[in-house]
């Protein structure tokens, strides 16, 4: 094989990327992890995590990310701040194009994550302070509180129903006068007396000082505006994979998420996708970590068979 810079390159240093790095470093592979911002990914803006095993009292997203990073670096993982501009996967080696240079690897793990689609209503200001994109993660923090949920698809309705296990009231705001969710989910939502529907409406802003205190909504038919007093706001209007650098280098689904098999391999041999960036039914820290362990071992076997 032609000389290469690394055995393995990992793109993205969220929980998936860091876990893949831990496994690769322990296997004594020549591995480099690339992260365009800082290690941690989305969990850096997660105020408190209670559903990750091993932390019965919970842990902040920042602290969990820091522990993962320290563990990886102590095992010898090299983490570099760099943004990937494009990939060239047509040759024997995988070429990763950065701003100032290109590097090569025998194998590649893509752990670039995904980002919730935002509405521009105050997500930056109130993220972790009442605004959330994950009911499974944050619903327990809103026990006996009032929540505004935004969306009308399967995810929004299913998550709104889940919220009612904790909240005393959930207002589900939808821009149309009917839901897009499957009928069985609609039936469950309509039967739930904790859910009140706010039809034909869109959110226009979030009110509050230290945290969410209310959500402003506008009726798209009458232009009437009002504020719903609430302690939290959950937004489900879609999620976008962080794959702008791919340029069709690997196969994706209709939404842009990378298709991968049970070994996390993509359509290109030796290239793996893990965590939120892949087509997965659940996007959680625990599933990202599991994906990454599988991918790192798969990459090790792939390299060993070259």
Cα(258)–Cα(280) distance, integer angstroms = 9
| Other Cβ atoms within 10 Å of 125 Cβ, number | 12
One DSSP character per residue, 57-69 reads: T-B-HHHHHHHHH
Cα(199)–Cα(204) distance, integer angstroms = 14
Cα(5)–Cα(120) distance, integer angstroms = 42
Residues facing residue 29 across a β-bridge: none
Q: Which of 137, 233, 276, 291 is catalytic?
A: 137
Cα(232)–Cα(1) distance, integer angstroms = 55
Residues facing residue 225 across a β-bridge: 218
Residue 103: in which H helix or E strand, if any? Answer: strand 102-110
Q: Which of 7, 138, 276, 291 is catalytic?
A: 138
Single out the residue of 113, 125, 134 nearest to residue 46, CA to CA. Answer: 134
Is residue 137 annotated as a catalytic residue, yes or no?
Answer: yes
Is residue 233 annotated as a catalytic residue, yes or no?
Answer: no
Q: Which of 5, 47, 134, 279 is catalytic?
A: 134
Cα(113)–Cα(94) distance, integer angstroms = 20
CA distances from 23 to 47, 62, 71 (A): 27, 21, 11
Rg from Cα positions in the chain: 21
Residues 6 or more apart from 29 whose CB is under 8 A from it? 7, 8, 299, 300, 303
Catalytic center residues: 134, 137-138
């Amino acid at each position: 094989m032609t000389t290469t810079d690394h055995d393995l390159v990992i793109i993205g240093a969220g929980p998936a990327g860091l876990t893949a790095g831990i496994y690769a470093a322990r296997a004594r592979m020549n591995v480099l992890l690339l992260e365009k911002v800082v290690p941690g990914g989305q969990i850096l803006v997660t105020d408190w995590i209670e559903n990750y095993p091993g932390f019965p009292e919970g842990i902040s997203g920042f602290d969990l990310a820091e522990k993962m990073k320290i563990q990886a670096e102590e095992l010898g993982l090299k983490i570099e701040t760099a943004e990937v501009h494009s990939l060239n996967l047509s040759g024997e080696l995988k070429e990763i194009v950065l701003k100032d240079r290109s590097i090569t690897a025998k194998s590649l793990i893509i752990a670039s994550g995904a980002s919730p689609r935002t509405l521009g209503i105050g997500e930056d200001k109130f993220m972790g302070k009442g605004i959330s994109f994950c009911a499974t993660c944050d619903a327990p923090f809103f026990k006996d509180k009032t929540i505004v949920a935004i969306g009308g698809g399967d995810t929004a309705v299913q998550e709104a129903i889940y919220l009612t296990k904790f909240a005393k009231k959930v207002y589900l705001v939808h821009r149309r006068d009917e839901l897009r969710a499957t009928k069985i989910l609609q039936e469950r939502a309509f039967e739930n007396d904790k859910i009140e529907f706010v039809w034909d409406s869109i959110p226009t802003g979030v009110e509050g000082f230290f945290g969410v205190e209310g959500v402003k909504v506008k009726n798209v038919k009458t232009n009437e505006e009002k504020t719903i007093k609430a302690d939290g706001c959950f937004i489900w209007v879609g999620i976008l994979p962080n794959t702008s650098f791919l340029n069709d280098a690997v196969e994706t689904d209709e939404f842009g998420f990378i298709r991968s098999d049970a070994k996390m391999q993509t359509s290109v041999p030796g290239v793996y996708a893990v965590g939120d960036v892949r087509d997965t039914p659940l996007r959680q820290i625990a599933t990202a970590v599991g994906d990454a362990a599988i991918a790192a071992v798969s990459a090790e076997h792939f390299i060993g068979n070259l």
